[in-house]
Structure formats: C-alpha cells, structure tokens
Amino acid sequence: MIHIVFGAAATNSLTYALQSKSHKVIGFPIDFRLERLLIFIKKAG
C-alpha cells in the first residue's frame, strides 16, 4: 500500500509506524501545491 503524506513530521512518523509492514510512504513538503501533485500522478499512471 502507498501512503501520500504532507509534512516532514508526519512522513517520518508514518514511516516509523509502518516499518515492519510492506507499506510505502511518499512525503511532500507542507507547502506543496496541488497542481504539482496532479502532474506527479499523471506521469506515474
């Protein structure tokens, strides 16, 4: 499962909490704009 998280603290916390499971955590800065996320999703999919 892939988790998309905003903020460094949230990213690190979730990564630590899920380290024993097969989960992937993708972290973005808090000031990340929605347009950039949509471009990222379009390129990935």
- SS3 of the chain: CEEEEECHHHHHHHHHHCCCCCCEEEEECCCCCHHHHHHHHHHHC
pLDDT digits (tens, 9 = 90+) for 1-45: 999 998 999 999 999 999 888 899 999 887 766 777 788 788 876
On whether the pTM is more than 0.75, the answer is no
Cα–Cα distance list, 44 to 17, 37, 38, 39, 40 (Å): 26, 11, 10, 9, 6
